[in-house]
Amino acid sequence: MISYCSRCLYPSTKPDLWFKDGVCGACHAFDLRSNYDWSSGKQVFRDLLRDNKKNPRYDCIVPVSGGKDSTYQVWRVLKEGFNPLCVTAPTDQLTALGRANIENLKSLGCDYIEISVNREVRRKINRHAFFAVGDIQWPEHLLIYTIPVRAAVQFQIPVILWGECPQREYGAGRPEDAYLKYFDRRVLEEYGSLNGLRVSDLLAIQGVDDRDLYFYEYPSAEEVDSLGLKGIYLDNYFPWNGISNAVIAQSLGFRVSEENILGTIANYENLDNYVHGIHDYLKYLKFGFGRATDVACNLIRRNLLLRDDACALVEKHDGRYPSSYLDRNLDRILQYYDISLQEFGEVCDDYTNYELFLNDASGQLVRRPDGSPQLTGSFSCLHQ
């Protein structure tokens, strides 16, 4: 049942991905962008920030994790002569490298705030979401969107400057999302990775109370409207390339991982959360592709990797059993949520889409030496 984009390696099982003439939406969106005239982008960006200035000191909110992209974003805004307020919604299990990169970002020359939520409550939500929807990273997927909006209202700064439009970069969304300028609640409801779990559902978790969920929710529509809040994507105004972002960020002190990261082919992204590996493995079990595919596809589109070569890399690295992430072993990562390795295995089996993987004569999954299942399809199954 799985088929692949004829240009990159995105599979038909990626929810919300559309195809035209055998080519996926992410590749179509990239083609559109290649024909952009970028010459006016800088001026449009400057006008937009000037026209929407409300806070006498700050020009925009930049949501930051300290990663390559947010380091680049802050650099870009400062370079254009504006004063951002940087806001971090910390990850679920911040890595040492992630902390070092946040500290580096704080040295770039702007004000910075970090908003942390009740750690014990968050831990319960992580655990609940892992069992309920197979996503251990659920709180982060919500808080990275809601916390900057809370900060925007709090400090009366009407522009939130996001990095790349994920719908465009990763292929979901409408072709004309290339022109999407305003970030609103609906984008989160539709494209945010909430997996059917809603904030109101969290109250069913023992030990989670309404008072703990302030930052998990958006401010009221009235507050957002009266501020005139706009979410804009930097990649509408300046070309976007993860590799050049990484180069610029490294020149500013951003550090990549010295070790290869299990399950992917890049050492310059997703460095800030120990649960990334678990999240990406579940994605592989559910949809038959993981982070190595995402990275490879981004490189293929930019002519930095040949599709044939990418096939070999992805086959080797994608969907590897996440026995460790950066410097931490899986059992220790899970221990933080009081999840045993056995429970982890059971949840993995529960969420595996068995039709995507090879079975032996007795109906058991054919596993690779590390324990991860072997895909049935090959990248030569092109979507027609």
Partner 1 sequence: MIYVVNFPFCNFFSLERYLRVRGRPYQILSLRDRLSSSDQVLLPGVGTFGQAMSYLRDQQLAPLLQDHVDQGGSLLGICLGMQILFEFSEESPGISGLGFLAGGCVPLPTALSFHVPHIGWNHLVSPPKKSSCSELFDFLPLGGLSRSDYYFVHSYVVKPSDSSVISACFEHPVGPLCASVHARNISGVQFHPEKSGPDGYALLDQLLDVNSNA
Handedness of CA 40, 46, 49, 52 (dihedral sign): negative
366: left (phi over 0), alpha (psi -120 to 50) or beta: beta
Residues 126-155 that bind partner 1 (CB under 8 A): 131-134
Q: Which is nearer to partner 1, 78 or 133 (CB)?
A: 133
Minimum gap (Å) between residue 256 Cβ and partner 1? 33
Residues 20-39 that bind partner 1 (CB under 8 A): 20, 25
Minimum gap (Å) between residue 384 Cβ and partner 1? 8
Q: Which is nearer to partner 1, 30 or 254 (CB)?
A: 30
45: left (phi over 0), alpha (psi -120 to 50) or beta: alpha
Q: Which is nearer to partner 1, 135 or 272 (CB)?
A: 135
Cα–Cα separations (whole angstroms), residue 244 to 83, 155, 159, 198, 310: 23, 32, 25, 36, 20
Cα–Cα separations (whole angstroms), residue 371 to 276, 286, 326, 343, 355: 18, 16, 19, 15, 17
Applying CB under 8 A, the site for partner 1 has a residue count of 39
Minimum gap (Å) between residue 266 Cβ and partner 1? 26
Cα atoms in the 13 Å half-sphere on the side-chain side of 38: 11
Q: Which is nearer to partner 1, 67 or 288 (CB)?
A: 288
Of 59, 164, 169, 177, the one binding partner 1 (CB under 8 A) is 177
Q: In this structure, what token pair is assigned to residue 87?
A: 């806001």
String of contacts with partner 1 for each residue 330-369, x by CB under 8 A: --------------------xx-x-x--------------
Minimum gap (Å) between residue 248 Cβ and partner 1? 31
Residue 39, amino acid: S
Of 286, 291, 301, 320, the one binding partner 1 (CB under 8 A) is 286
- DSSP state letter for 171: S
The DSSP bridge pattern shows strands 328-329 and 84-88 to be unpaired
Site for partner 1, rule CB under 8 A: 1, 3, 12-20, 25, 131-134, 167, 172-177, 185-187, 189-191, 195-197, 286-287, 350-351, 353, 355, 383
